[in-house]
Structures are given as structure tokens and as C-alpha cells.
Amino acid sequence: MTMKMERYTVCLEKGLLGRLDEIVAERGYRSRSQAMADFIRRAVTKKDWSSGRDCAASVSVVHPSGSRAGLQLEALLRGASSRVMSSCSHPLPGGKLMTTVFLRGRPRELQKLADLLRAVKGVTYGSFSIIAPV
């Protein structure tokens, strides 16, 4: 699939272009244009998030395998089933599980659910990310 592109020109203060090139190399972008498009998409997603538009998101948490935390996480997800697109759990070393949940809904609701999941007793790590507007 070929996307139609729009061309634009950017003027940067001295020194920023070199910094951009460092980011391009570090993150593995194929070009400056690809990096700028990614940065702009992130800004648009953040704007959509703040406007309350439906978004796709993910929450990942790490918790002990076979603990009450897993049961509490499942109960929370059942209660929010209209927002849950899918979830999966994978074993980690040391008897831990990483559970990732893919969500869709209003950003504030998703943030609240992510906070509840990360606050479950036994969860040791957690992250939340708005991925894209839908």
C-alpha cells in the first residue's frame, strides 16, 4: 500500500538538525522525514487524547504467577469488558507474569482503568500507553 505524501519545508535553529540526525540513528528511522512524521503522529495522538476522542491503548503489568493479583486483574478486566479488546499473559523469570491488555475507549476512562490495574496488590511494574486515535 502506497501512502500519498505531502511535502513541506522546515527551518531549524543551528544545532537542532544534528540532534535530529542522532535521534534518527538511535531509533532506527530510515530518514528524517520518517522521524518527523512519527513525532507529529505522537503530537496528534496526544491532542486527541486531551480532547476525549476514542483511542486504542495498552496496559502492561508484572505480577507474581498464581497470586491473588492475577485474580484481581481478571475481575477488573471483566468489569471493563466493553473496553477490553484482548489480553495476554507471558511468563517471566522468577515466577512472574507480564499481562498486557489492549483497550479501546475514552482516554480518561482508560487512564482510570490502567491506574486500577497498576494499583492491584502484588503488581510490581506497570505501564500505560495511548497508542492511536480510533
Question: The CATH number of 55-133 is which of 3.40.50.300, 3.30.43.10, 3.40.50.12780, 3.30.70.1150?
Answer: 3.30.70.1150
Instruction: Give the start-to-end residue ranges of the domains of the chain.
Output: 16-51, 55-133
**pLDDT at 20 (0 to 100):** 92
Most confident of 107-111, 116-120, 127-131: 116-120
**pLDDT at 75 (0 to 100):** 96
Q: Which residues contact 5 (CB under 8 A, 6 or more apart)?
A: none
Positive/negative CA dihedral, 28, 34, 38, 39: positive
**pLDDT at 101 (0 to 100):** 97
In this prediction, residues 45-74 reach a mean pLDDT of 89
Three-state secondary structure readout of the chain = CCCCCCCCCCCCCCCHHHHHHHHHHHHCCCCHHHHHHHHHHHHHHHHHHHHCCCEEEEEEEEEECCCHHHHHHHHHHHHCCCCEEEEEEEEECCCEEEEEEEEEECHHHHHHHHHHHHCCCCCCEEEEEEEEEC
**pLDDT at 1 (0 to 100):** 66
What mean pLDDT, rounded, does the chain reach?
Answer: 91
**pLDDT at 95 (0 to 100):** 96
**pLDDT at 42 (0 to 100):** 80
**pLDDT at 91 (0 to 100):** 97
